[in-house]
Amino acid sequence: MSYTADIDSIMNGLAPELRASIGMDTIVVEAGALKKVVPYVLQRYQHVMLVVDEHTYKVAGKKLESELNLDARSLHTVFISPNAIEDVVADEQSIVELVLAAKQFQPDILIALGSGTLHDITRMAGFILNLPFISVPTAPSVDGFNSKGAPVILRGEKKTIVSIGPVAVFADLDILRKAPRELIAAGFGDIVGKFTSLFDWKFGQLTNQEPYMEQAYLITKNALDKCVKAADLIELGDQEGIAYLISGLIESGIAMLIFGKSHPASGAEHHLSHYWEMDFIKQGRKQLLHGAKVGVACTIIAELYHRLAEEEFGLQSDVRESVRVNWEEIKQHIAEIPSAAELRAMIAKVGGPTTIEELGVPSELAETALKYAHLVRPERYTLLHAYNTKVEQ
């Protein structure tokens, strides 16, 4: 059974120049997809570097290593080291670790075997060294496998560097289905976050002339609607449910890839999540899952936005003129965002945390983040940004 009907139709519908510019020629979503990595790689590359960590080596790296069956001169596996608190993080140290290993071994292809963090480390190293990479997700936990942006931690700040997308994605449903439940729920949380990111994108376009692409909007919206409809199947964690989820995540990644930026997938809910993440790093606390944070942050932002609509925020005298004149349309878009209670019910169905307490974010941090999270991406004009700044000082 093919699980890539929507992906195929998106890819086939891209204008030829756009398709060529994203440089991704193969997307496989099926049980046993790992086996297809071998002929793909052997037909094209001679020196292969696998990028893993301790966990992902066990679930996929070891198997791929043995199936590639290459001698030590042609295959090298790099284990990205965890930091002092046993977290593998996409920061300067991890990126340099991989860059140096690649400088020494001189691969002509990198293969990321892991979830969001290992992919961002690999895409950054590939970008720096001008090397292509292949994506092999080990958990359906984020939509960042095939995006172009690398949200990395540089000097403690979460910055997104526009880098490279993969040349191919091999999503093996046998591996993804066995990923821990929290990672599957996190992937669903990252998808649910699109309710507010898509709103914020429309808001930025209407009020701040931010760049916009209808095709990327519709791809993301379709991925969101499809996954929300399939929540019962995703909850079961069977092959079909996981196929819906990973396909939705890949489609959202394609939207970012063709747009070239993360607007479709990342709005104020992501900025809150990033703010929490940066604070956890400062406090030396272990990271929470990205998608789990995004899901909870989405409920908080939805609650705020519905309240702002009720209070007629856009008609206040000190908001930007562009917000005031577009307020009726903005309110219509807010009305399309489910209520916080509805969002919590969706996330709970799939087993994700729905409140800051369940997630483990202290309430003081949640309050501060709501005031300052727009500064994580100051160039993006979200409704949260408008609420926190009113008329620009």
Ligand X SMILES: O=C(CO)COP(=O)(O)O
Applying CB under 6 A, which residues contact ligand NDP? 53-56, 59, 88, 90, 114-118, 120, 138-139, 141-144, 147, 149-151, 179-180, 183, 186, 190, 256, 262, 289-291
First CA to last CA distance, the chain:
56
Separation CA 251–CA 228 (nearest Å): 14
Distance (Å, whole) CA 4 – CA 270: 27
CA atoms within 13 A on the CB side of 267: 32
CB closer to ligand X out of 333 and 377: 377
Q: CB of residue 273 vs ligand X: minimum separation in angstroms? A: 8
369/351 Cα distance (integer angstroms): 25
Q: Does 220 bind ligand X (CB under 6 A)?
A: no
Please give the Cα distance from 307 to 301 (Å, whole number).
10
Q: Pick from 6, 65, 120, 190 the residue near ligand X by CB under 6 A.
A: 190
Kindly give the pairing relationship between strand 109-114 and strand 133-137.
Answer: parallel
Burial 270-281 (b: 16+ CB within 10 A, else e): bbbbbbbbbbbb
User: Binding marks (x or -) toward ligand X, 133..152, rule CB under 6 A?
Assistant: ----------xx----x-x-
76 binds ligand X (CB under 6 A): no
- Asked if residue 269 binds ligand X (CB under 6 A), the reply is no
CB of 56 to ligand NDP, least distance (A): 5
**Choices 62-70, 237-245, 264-272, 298-306 (CB under 6 A): range interacting with ligand X:** 264-272
CA-only gyration radius of the chain, Å: 20
Q: Residue 105 CB, nearest distance to ligand X (Å)? A: 29
Provide the residue type at 291 as one letter: G
Cβ-based nearer residue to ligand NDP, 57 or 387:
57
Residues near ligand X, by CB under 6 A: 143-144, 149, 151, 160, 190, 262, 265-266, 270, 274
